[in-house]
Amino acid sequence: MNCEECDASLIDYAYDELAPEPRRAVTRHLAECAACAVAYCRLRADLDGALQAAHEAPPPAVRQRLRAEVERAFRPSWWRRGLALVQRPVPAYAVLAALVLPAALWLVRASGRDDPASATSPRVRGYDAAAPPLIHRPIL
């Protein structure tokens, strides 16, 4: 195996994705060639560093700024949110309530107009029929 073939196989070798025979050939070449062994060591260090960086969580302030930036970039405009609200499906009970509520209000309001006397005579306030009548005494 020459250096070019070894260099092309280093990533697969690092991830252990080579078949047994090519893996043995790369191992023998790395044992014999110092330049390829150094290249493999650098590749392995880079891969380990990338894996370690992927496992580290960013600080909370960075996560909050990133989340705010993503929300601002991908948030729908105000008119799209309003349109989505209008296009939202309405449950059947909401339609029923929209039809029954005005009718119920009309019935409550119309129930006070059934007595024809109440429409023509003024209402007396503070009258209690159960109270005894006042006795009129002459003023001295």
Identify whether 137 is part of a domain.
no
63 and 27 fall within a common domain: no
Residue 76 φ/ψ, nearest 5 degrees = -70, 155
Same domain, 46 and 83: no
User: Do residues 45 and 90 both lie within one domain?
Assistant: no
Question: Both 67 and 77 in a single domain?
Answer: yes
pLDDT in tens, 84-128: 877 778 777 777 778 888 888 888 887 766 555 555 556 666 667
Where is mean pLDDT largest: 29-38, 86-95, 130-139? 29-38
Whether 96 maps to a domain, the answer reads yes
Q: Determine the pLDDT at residue 68.
A: 93
Q: HSE-up of 35 (CA within 13 Å, CB side)?
A: 5
pTM score: 0.39
Residue 130 has pLDDT above 90, yes or no: no
Q: What is the mean pLDDT of residues 25-37?
A: 92
Greatest extent of the chain over all pairs of C-alpha atoms, in Å: 139
Report residue 7 as tokens.
């260099």
pLDDT digits (tens, 9 = 90+) for 57-74: 778 899 899 999 999 889
Kindly report the average pLDDT of the chain as a whole number: 81
- Domain with 92, as residue range(s), is 57-109
Contact 43, 14 (CB under 8 A): yes
- Give the count of domains, the chain: 2
